[in-house]
C-alpha cells in the first residue's frame, strides 16, 4: 500500500468518528432527555479523544512526508494531502487532555445555557462559561504556537482555512462605516412606501412545519437523506448522507421559523452536494464556514427573500394558514419579508442590520480571547456595542449575550464567517444569474433546478479542492469582496426591485 493510500484509510476512520460525534451532538440538542447530559458528555469526549489519538499518531507525519514524494497524484489527491497536513497540524497543536477537558466543559456549558437562556439568567451559566473560555484560551495559545499565528487567527483557521483577522478588520471596518449611512437611506426609502399590512395569526406550529417541509422539497431537500426537527437554536448537523436541520417556531410570526428552515436548507444542500467520491476525506469536506454560510444565506436572503420567490410561495402560505384578503398579496408579503427594522436577535435580523450583529460578536470574542474582556463584563459590553452599532439596548440577557449558542458550546472564531458568507452569497448569486437567465424565472415558478445546476459544479462539487478566494475567483471572476453585497442592498432596499 502506498503512503497516500494508507493516509486515506486512516483519515476515513478519523472522519467517521467525527461524523458519529456529530450525530450524537445533534441528538443532544434535539432528542436527548436532560438526564442524559452527563453520559453524553462522556461519550462525546471519548470519541473526540480517540479521533485525536489517531490524528496525532507519529506515523501520520511520516506518511505525509512519504506521500508528498510519490508520483501520480492528480489535483484532487494533491489537495487531499494539503488538507490532511492542515488537519494534522491543528490536531498535534492541542494535547489530548485539553481535548477531553474542553469537550466535557462545552457539553456541560451548553446544557446549562439551555436553562439559562429562557430564564434570562446569565449568572446561571457564568461559572461554566468561565471554564470554557479558560480552556479555549489555552487551546488558542497552543495552536498559535504551533501554527505561527495569533491566538484568534489560530481559532479562526479552524472554521475558515487561511482566514485572517487583519483582512476581516479591514472589511468589517468599511462595512461598519457604510451600514449606518445605508440604514438611514433604507429606512427613508421604506417610509415613502405604504406600510405593509400585518399577517393575521396565530400560526400553529404543525402548519408551519408542513409549509416548511413543502418549500424545502421545492428547493431540493431530499427527505430520504435528511430530516427537519426543532431545537433551542436553529442549526444543521448530521452528515452529508443524513443531514439533520432544525428550526424553532413562533406561533405569532411564521416567517421566523420559515426563514430558519430555508437558511438551514441552504446548508443542507451544500452538504448533500459534496462529491460522493471523496466522502470521509478532508478534500471532500466543505471548504470552510464562509462558503457554508454563503450557501445558507444565498438561499435565505438572495433567493427566498426575492420578489420572485414570494410570488411562488404566497399562494402556498395562504393555503397553509387559510389566509385571505390584501395582507396575503405577494407584494405585501414581500414588503414584510424585506422590512428593515433594527432587531435585538441576530437570527431574526434583516440583511441590512445583520452585519452589525456579527461585527459586534467578532469584536467581543476577539477581546475575550485576548484577555481584554472577561465573562463577568460581557453583558455590559454587549449592550454598549448594540447601542453603538444599532441604537438599541437589550432589556435582558436572553435577548442579549445569551441569545447565541456558539461561545457556550466552544465555537470561537466562527462568527465573522456569517457576514463574510453574506458577501460571498451576493457575489455568487450575481454570477449565477448572469450566467443563466432562467434562474430567477425558475425561482418564480418554484423550480430551483437552474440555480442548483449552477451551484453544484461551481461550489458544492468543489468541496475543498481550492481555497475560498480561488473558488470565488473561478466562479465569479474575482476574489471575495463587498462590492456585490452593496449593489444587492441598494437594488433591493433603495431601488425596490426585490
- The catalytic residues are 264
> Angle at CA 43, nearest 5°, toward 224 and 229?
30
Distance of CA 141 to the CA centre of its chain: 25
Compute the distance between CA of residue 96 and CA of residue 93 in angstroms, rounded to an integer. 10
The residue whose grid cell reads 497540524 is 89
Residue 244: its H or E element: strand 242-247
Question: In this structure, are strands 226-230 and 242-247 parallel, antiparallel, or unpaired?
Answer: parallel
Rounded to whole angstroms, what are the CA distances from 465 to 203, 243, 253, 429? 44, 22, 41, 21
Torsion of CA 318, 319, 324, 325, to 10 degrees: 40
Cell numbers found for residue 95: 494535547
Burial class (CB in 10 A: 0-12, 13-18, 19+), 242: middle
Closest among 458, 487, 76 to 294, alpha carbons compared:
458
* Dihedral sign, Cα of residue 463, residue 296, residue 304, residue 426: negative
- Residue 413, classed as helix, strand or coil, is coil
Compute the distance between CA of residue 56 and CA of residue 413 in angstroms, rounded to an integer. 23
> Angle at CA 487, nearest 5°, toward 480 and 190?
135
Compute the distance between CA of residue 88 and CA of residue 14 in angstroms, rounded to an integer. 11
Which ranges of 120-253 does DSSP label H, i.e. alpha helix? Answer: 122-147, 151-159, 165-191, 205-219
Rounded to whole angstroms, what are the CA distances from 316 to 23, 55, 261, 336? 32, 49, 15, 16
- Before 400, cis peptide (omega within 30)? no
Q: Give the single-character DSSP code of 345.
A: -
Contacts of 376 (CB under 8 A, 6+ apart): 126
Q: Give the single-character DSSP code of 195.
A: P
- Residue 10, classed as helix, strand or coil, is helix
Q: Give the single-character DSSP code of 377.
A: G
Reported residue count of the chain is 498
Amino acid at each position: 500500500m502506498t503512503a497516500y493510500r494508507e493516509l486515506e484509510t486512516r483519515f476515513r476512520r478519523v472522519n467517521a468518528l467525527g461524523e458519529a460525534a456529530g450525530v450524537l451532538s445533534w441528538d443532544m440538542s434535539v432528542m436527548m432527555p436532560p438526564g442524559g447530559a452527563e453520559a453524553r458528555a462522556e461519550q462525546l469526549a471519548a470519541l473526540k479523544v480517540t479521533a485525536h489519538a489517531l490524528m496525532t499518531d507519529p506515523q501520520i507525519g511520516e506518511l505525509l512526508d512519504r506521500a508528498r514524494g510519490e508520483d501520480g497524484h492528480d489535483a484532487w489527491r494533491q489537495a487531499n494531502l494539503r488538507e490532511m497536513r492542515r488537519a494534522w497540524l491543528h490536531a498535534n497543536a492541542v494535547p489530548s487532555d485539553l481535548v477531553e477537558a474542553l469537550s466535557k466543559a462545552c457539553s456541560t456549558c451548553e446544557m446549562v445555557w439551555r436553562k439559562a437562556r429562557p430564564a434570562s439568567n446569565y449568572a446561571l451559566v457564568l461559572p461554566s462559561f468561565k471554564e470554557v473560555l479558560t480552556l479555549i484560551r489555552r487551546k488558542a495559545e497552543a495552536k498559535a504556537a504551533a501554527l505561527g499565528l495569533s491566538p484568534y487567527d489560530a481559532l479562526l483557521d479552524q472554521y475558515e482555512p487561511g482566514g485572517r483577522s487583519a483582512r476581516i478588520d479591514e472589511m468589517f471596518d468599511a462595512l461598519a462605516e457604510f451600514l449606518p449611512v445605508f440604514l438611514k437611506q433604507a429606512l427613508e426609502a421604506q417610509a415613502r412606501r405604504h406600510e405593509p399590512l400585518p399577517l393575521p395569526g396565530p400560526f400553529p406550529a404543525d402548519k408551519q412545519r408542513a409549509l416548511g417541509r413543502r418549500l424545502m422539497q421545492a428547493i431540493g431537500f431530499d427527505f430520504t437523506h435528511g430530516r427537519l426537527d426543532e431545537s433551542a437554536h436553529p442549526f444543521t448537523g448530521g452528515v452529508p448522507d443524513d443531514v439533520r436541520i432544525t428550526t424553532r417556531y413562533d406561533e405569532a410570526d411564521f416567517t421566523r421559523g420559515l426563514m430558519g428552515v430555508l437558511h438551514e436548507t441552504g446548508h443542507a444542500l451544500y452538504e448533500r452536494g459534496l462529491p460522493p467520491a471523496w466522502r470521509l476525506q478532508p478534500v471532500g469536506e466543505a471548504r470552510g464556514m464562509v462558503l457554508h454560510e454563503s450557501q445558507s444565506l444565498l438561499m435565505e436572503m438572495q433567493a427566498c427573500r426575492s420578489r420572485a420567490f414570494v410570488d411562488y410561495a404566497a399562494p402556498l402560505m395562504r393555503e397553509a394558514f387559510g389566509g385571505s384578503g390584501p395582507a396575503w398579496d405577494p407584494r405585501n408579503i414581500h414588503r414584510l419579508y424585506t422590512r428593515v427594522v433594527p432587531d435585538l436577535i441576530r437570527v431574526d435580523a434583516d440583511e441590512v442590520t445583520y452585519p452589525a450583529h456579527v461585527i459586534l460578536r467578532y469584536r467581543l470574542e476577539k477581546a475575550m480571547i485576548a484577555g481584554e474582556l472577561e465573562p463577568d463584563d460581557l453583558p455590559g459590553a454587549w449592550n454598549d456595542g448594540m447601542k453603538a452599532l444599532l441604537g438599541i439596548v437589550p432589556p435582558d440577557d436572553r435577548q442579549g449575550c445569551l441569545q447565541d449558542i456558539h461561545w457556550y458550546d466552544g465555537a470561537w472564531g466562527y462568527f465573522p464567517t456569517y457576514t463574510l458568507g453574506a458577501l460571498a452569497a451576493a457575489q455568487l448569486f450575481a454570477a449565477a444569474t448572469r450566467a443563466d437567465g432562467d434562474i430567477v424565472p425558475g425561482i418564480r415558478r418554484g423550480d430551483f433546478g437552474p440555480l442548483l445546476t449552477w451551484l453544484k459544479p461551481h461550489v458544492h462539487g468543489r468541496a475543498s479542492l481550492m481555497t475560498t478566494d480561488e473558488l470565488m475567483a473561478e466562479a465569479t471572476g474575482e476574489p471575495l469582496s463587498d462590492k456585490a453585497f452593496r449593489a444587492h442592498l441598494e437594488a433591493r432596499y433603495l431601488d425596490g426591485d426585490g
